Structure 1
Amino acid sequence: MTISLITGANKGIGFETARQLVDLGHVVYIGARDTERGQEAAEVLGARFVQLDVTDDSSVRDALATIEAREGQLDVLIHNAGVLPTDLDGPTALHAFDTNAVGMVRVTEAALPLLRKSDNPNVVTVSSSAGSFWAVTNPERPEFNLPLALYSASKAAATMLTVQYAKSQPGIKFNAVEPGTTATDMTAAFGVGRPADKSARIVVRLATLGADGPTGTLQDENGNIPW
């Protein structure tokens, strides 16, 4: 039995990733800040809910303690919770990095003891090519003209954290993913994106890597991305 935890999974890519992993037979824990929304999502999917706010140390500790008590281990961790800020000021910057990058550290550190009990632990970061220095400096890429400073910077940090964890935790696979421009609540203002279930497929692919799978990469549906 494969135990999976997805942060920010009550909607969007996280929700569709949960759906696909449930279909594959995983025991999926939907982590969400809002208890009512999280429970509703879990009931719809046949998943389990755990209250988890990636910006709150106590919430993170309690969530992982709950999973440890119920399951004894964790096989898959998906860092999906994120924000896409458009304002550019100090408080917004702190919130963006706290959610998109620091939250990863909170959850990963709390999860490591459980991941080490797995025979094939996988950690996937839903990152972005908007955080790729290669992409944002390449005039032929759409990211070149994307004016999202805090989102790009915090996703660059998320990818770097993924790579550093891959180096420091050789027994656990850590990979980051660019899921593709997706129509979610976060992107509603831009009016762009494909259905979330299509973007979730690449997340699921990395979440279900075999023991000999890659680690320390940033990938999209076509393979590795320079970053």
Structure 2
Amino acid sequence: MNDTKIALVTGANKGIGFAIAQGLGALGYTVAVGARDDARRAEAVARLSATGIDAFGVALDVTSDESATTAATTIERTAGRLDVLVNNAGIAGRIDGGAQDPTTLDLDVLRTVLDTNAFGAVRVTNAMLPLLRRAPAPRIVNVSSNMGSLTLQTGPILAAYAPSKSLLNSLTTQYARQLADTDIIVNACCPGYVATDFTGFNSPRTPTQGAAIAIHLATLPDDGPRGGFFDDSGVVPW
């Protein structure tokens, strides 16, 4: 496994996360499938393995410090290092009863969404950094959304979800600045409005199409961009 690149994708049991795992696996990466649910994680690993992809499951709840630390131990034991981290795990949060109307915002919903979408990325990234530092060309990709763009202000008003992605974009730039003199390249991406259970499958855009930008950023050359926010068309203003 020494010559094989290792990629961890969080929330990889379905949707865009699974498509990212599939895409990296097809490029020859060994894929660590990060997911909370044991059965769904095992099923995802089996589906990937059935297509010839080298994959293994990693129990990972991004809202738990202990889980992130344990996941890093699992990857170290299995692979010894990490070449790519894709922070894909995310939730939309409840919207019933005006929970994400800013004028009636449910702060518990805001906390819950931030804990997965922003704090989760920090937990996992910091747990994995020692393993990433062992890789020759490490890459971190944070899966964001243009709904977090203060410039574009796209999508419905979701006063927990949209700010969680604005924060994730800001964290991305902070990591990129701090790691500027290292080999670790950090960027964020917007997969677009993709047909998943997240969107009620209400889109013609497939998870494979949505995954393409994350895969691109995960495989950037050493002189690739740092601290940016990208979609299929290029730089996303935010």
Shared topology, TM-score over 0.5?
yes
TM-score, normalised to structure 2, is 0.90
Residue 159 (structure 1) aligned with residue 169 (structure 2): yes
- Residue 96 of structure 1 aligns with which residue? 113
1:123 and 2:132 aligned: no
Query: Counterpart of 1:58 in structure 2: which amino acid?
Result: E
Alignment partners' CA distance in 2, 1:95 and 1:64:
23
Distance in structure 1 (CA, Å) of the matches to 2:134 and 2:192: 32
**Cα-to-partner distance string for 1:33-88 (whole Å, 9 max, x where unaligned):** 00110011011102110000000111111011110112111000000000012233
Secondary structure of 2:81's aligned partner: coil
Root mean square deviation, CA, Å:
1.1
The AA in structure 2 aligned to 1:185 is D
Deviations 1:175-223 (A, max 9, x none): 00011100111110x7235111111111101111111111100000011
Cα–Cα, structure 1 residues 193 and 103, in superposed 2: closer, same or farther, change >3 Å? Answer: farther
Q: Distance in 2 between matches of 1:68 and 1:210?
A: 24
Q: Could you tell me the percent identity over the aligned residues?
A: 47
Paired position in structure 2 for 1:140? none
Alpha-carbon distance in structure 1 between the residues aligned to 2:24 and 2:120:
23
Match of residue 28 from structure 1: 31
State whether residues 187 and 193 of structure 1, in contact with CA within 8 Å, keep that contact through their aligned partners in structure 2. no
For the residues of structure 2 that align with 1:223 and 1:180, how far apart are their CA atoms?
Answer: 12
1:130/1:155 contact within 8 Å kept? yes
Query: Alignment length, in residue pairs?
Result: 219
Matches within 5 A, 1:212-227: 212-227=223-238
In the alignment, what sits opposite 1:146? 156
Query: Gaps (5+ residues) in structure 2?
Result: 50-54, 101-105
Answer whether contact 1:13 1:200 (CA < 8 A) is retained: yes
| TM score, norm. by length of structure 1 | 0.94
Cα deviation, residue 121, structure 1: 0.4
Rounded to whole Å, the distance in 2 between the matches of 1:192 and 1:75 is 32
The SS at the match of 1:182 is coil
Q: Does 1:108 align with 2:125?
A: yes
Corresponding letter in the other structure for 1:68: E
Shift of 1:97: 0.2
The amino acid that maps onto 2:198 is M
CA contact (8 A) 1:6 1:14 kept: yes
Letter in 2 for 1:158: L
- Asked if 1:173 corresponds to 2:159, the answer is no
Q: Provide the rounded CA distance (Å) in 1 between the counterparts of 2:212 and 2:58.
A: 23
Q: Which residue of 159, 162, 185 corresponds with 2:197?
A: 185
